[in-house]
Amino acid sequence: MAIVLLTSGATLGTHVPALILAGRLRALGIEVRVEVFERLLRPDELDRLRAAKLAFRENFKLAVAAQRMVRDQMPALDDAAVGELLHRWRAADVDQVVIFSGFWVPVVERYEALTSRTPRVDICHLDAAPTASFNLFRARTERFRHVWMFDAERGTAPTSIRVGDEAPVPWQRRERRLLAHGGGWGLGTYRDRAADLARAGLLVDVVTHDPADVSALPPGCRAFMIDPEWEAWQDDGFPPFGEILFDGTVRYRRGAAYHDSFDLARHRVAMLCKTGGGTLIDSLWSATPIVLLAPFGAHEQVNADLWRRLGYGVTEQEWRDSGYSLDLLEALHRNLLAAREGTADYAADLAARAVQTEVPG
């Protein structure tokens, strides 16, 4: 029987780790299905989502404010699509699901009402605090197993979704460049901050989401882009990603085991970004520290505070005050190297539980 991973394509910081987990489970011989929440939305709701994505990219304060107005998305779903999904689950006798987005909770509850068996449900928290969608259903998910990638209270990374199998790139072999990004939606202040650092003489790789952004970048910046035509609910692959060449063309690539931007992170001295859960996972497994930018909501503030407290990140102001010290970043890198030791493998845990279920008696 398959493990079903319930993700959301609206935020790549949720979706990409789920895809990585799916690949690792398959490598362990476990059948996996990935379900993307937006495939259940009515067409008019998808149009609203696309419009919000553009509006939030241009107005970060609006995006942060919108988080406080998150509500149950069941009324926005196509009833026929939900019915078809539940029918497929019931026919396959699905008994193990992992929820990456709280919006899936009511759908899982409907499945529970239709099936004679009680599925095992993990709530997978990629952040050190519950996100807005999980907060909606906090009381209704107490009975499920909650798996935390990061424990803010204890200051640990108890379990994780490993990205790739290669060791981190040694510090001496890294390019003296930063990777600046705004997560899957390109949110936040990273474009302006990247431009400021480039004007100060630093070299920065910037992930853009609109070709028009490139002309505003000063010398010292290289531009990369996620294909703006691609949407996560179109397929189960990683985002098409590539460098914007001098003539404006982009040669997109798609990694098989993880997202291509992770390879950039592995070879850089720091990431300049806000602190979504997916970014923390990238930081941990690449051993690349974060120069911390303004967070997207309360959960990202908890993430940023944790990364700073543990010595894995530094605020932009602190790094500026240090004279943009590479020695400081190297110390954070070494802290991250040590942090990887002893972190449990979530894929191995899920696989072991799945095998136990299949063994008779």
Same domain, 27 and 91: yes
CATH number at residue 146: 3.40.50.2000
Residue with tokens 């493998």: 345
Amino acid 64: pLDDT: 66
Host domain of residue 34: 3-162+344-358
Q: Is 348 exposed, middle or buried (0-12, 13-18, 19+ CB in 10 A)?
A: middle
Q: How far apart are CA 29 and CA 347, in angstroms?
A: 11
Which DSSP helix (H) or strand (E) runs through 61? helix 60-67
Same domain, 186 and 334: yes
The 3-state DSSP class for residue 314 equals strand
* Residue 8 CA: distances (Å) to CA of 40, 141, 343: 11, 18, 25
Same domain, 320 and 214: yes
Report the candidate in 173, 343, 157 with the shortest Cα–Cα distance to residue 266. 173
In the sheet with 120-125, reading across from the earlier edge strand, the strands are: 32-36, 3-7, 96-99, 120-125, 145-148
Same domain, 218 and 98: no
Same domain, 135 and 267: no
Amino acid 273: pLDDT: 93
The answer to whether the beta carbons of residues 207 and 183 sit under 8 Å apart is no
Same domain, 241 and 354: no
- The answer for residues whose C-beta is within 8 angstroms of residue 139's C-beta and 6 or more apart is none
Amino acid 188: pLDDT: 72
Amino acid 361: pLDDT: 41
Same domain, 193 and 296: yes
Same domain, 188 and 333: yes
Amino acid 66: pLDDT: 64
The answer to whether the beta carbons of residues 273 and 181 sit under 8 Å apart is yes
Amino acid 18: pLDDT: 98
Report the candidate in 272, 262, 280 with the shortest Cα–Cα distance to residue 152. 280
Same domain, 223 and 295: yes
- The answer for residues whose C-beta is within 8 angstroms of residue 178's C-beta and 6 or more apart is 194, 197, 202, 203, 204, 205, 268, 269, 270, 271, 272, 291
Residue by residue, pLDDT tens for the chain (361 residues) are 689 999 998 888 899 999 999 999 999 999 999 999 999 999 999 998 888 777 766 766 766 666 666 788 899 999 999 999 999 999 999 999 999 999 999 999 999 999 888 899 999 999 999 998 999 999 999 999 999 999 998 888 999 999 999 999 999 999 999 999 987 767 777 888 999 999 999 999 999 887 777 877 888 899 999 998 899 998 889 999 999 988 889 999 999 999 999 999 999 999 999 999 999 999 999 999 999 998 878 889 999 999 999 999 999 999 999 999 999 999 999 999 999 888 999 999 999 998 876 644 4
DSSP state string for 230-283: --GGG-SSPPPEEEBPTTS-B--B--SSS-THHHHHHTSSEEEE---HHHHHHH
Same domain, 120 and 55: yes
CA angle 23, 28, 34 (to 5 degrees): 35
The answer to whether the beta carbons of residues 293 and 312 sit under 8 Å apart is no
For the chain, what is the domain count?
2
Same domain, 196 and 65: no
Same domain, 274 and 298: yes
pTM: 0.94
